[in-house]
Amino acid sequence: DGGITQSPKYLFRKEGQNVTLSCEQNLNHDAMYWYRQDPGQGLRLIYYSQIVNDFQKGDIAEGYSVSREKKESFPLTVTSAQKNPTAFYLCASSIDRQGLVRTEAFFGQGTRLTVV
């Protein structure tokens, strides 16, 4: 089945550690996105990528890094520089960046990151 898969579902991190969240899609979508969601809040854009080997900062990119070496994969690294990383992270994809506007975004099931 086509879809977008995030792993792991739950992740615990010690302070000062970097962690990487996985996002894989087999929808053949060009564009991929990372959002952060805090309790009772909407989604805030961290990074997005329109095409392989290209990505752009979103509203809250500080303390995060990404790579886009393959069309199917868009991993997010939460670095120790992120002051408050505990949150729910959502990955999404769309046909292309214009497609995000014209049609819809497809979301993964999310990764809940907790700093202990």
Partner 1 sequence: SQQGEEDPQALSIQEGENATMNCSYKTSINNLQWYRQNSGRGLVHLILIRSNEREKHSGRLRVTLDTSKKSSSLLITASRAADTASYFCATAPWMYSGGGADGLTFGKGTHLIIQP
Q: Which residues form the interface with partner 1 (CB under 8 A)?
A: 6, 33, 35, 40-45, 48, 56-59, 88, 90, 92, 97, 100-110, 112
H/E element holding 94? Answer: strand 87-94
Collapsing DSSP states into helix, strand and coil, what is residue 19?
Answer: strand
Q: How far is the CB of 109 from partner 1 (least distance, A)?
A: 5
Task: Compute the distance between CA of residue 90 and CA of residue 114 in angstroms, rounded to an integer.
Answer: 14
Q: φ, ψ for residue 10 (rounded to 5)?
A: -125, 140
Which of 15/25 has CB closer to partner 1?
A: 25
State the residue for tokens 């990151």.
113
Task: Compute the distance between CA of residue 63 and CA of residue 19 in angstroms, rounded to an integer.
Answer: 11
Which of 61/80 has CB closer to partner 1?
A: 61
Which of 16/42 has CB closer to partner 1?
A: 42
Q: How far is the CB of 41 from partner 1 (least distance, A)?
A: 6
Q: How far is the CB of 16 from partner 1 (least distance, A)?
A: 27
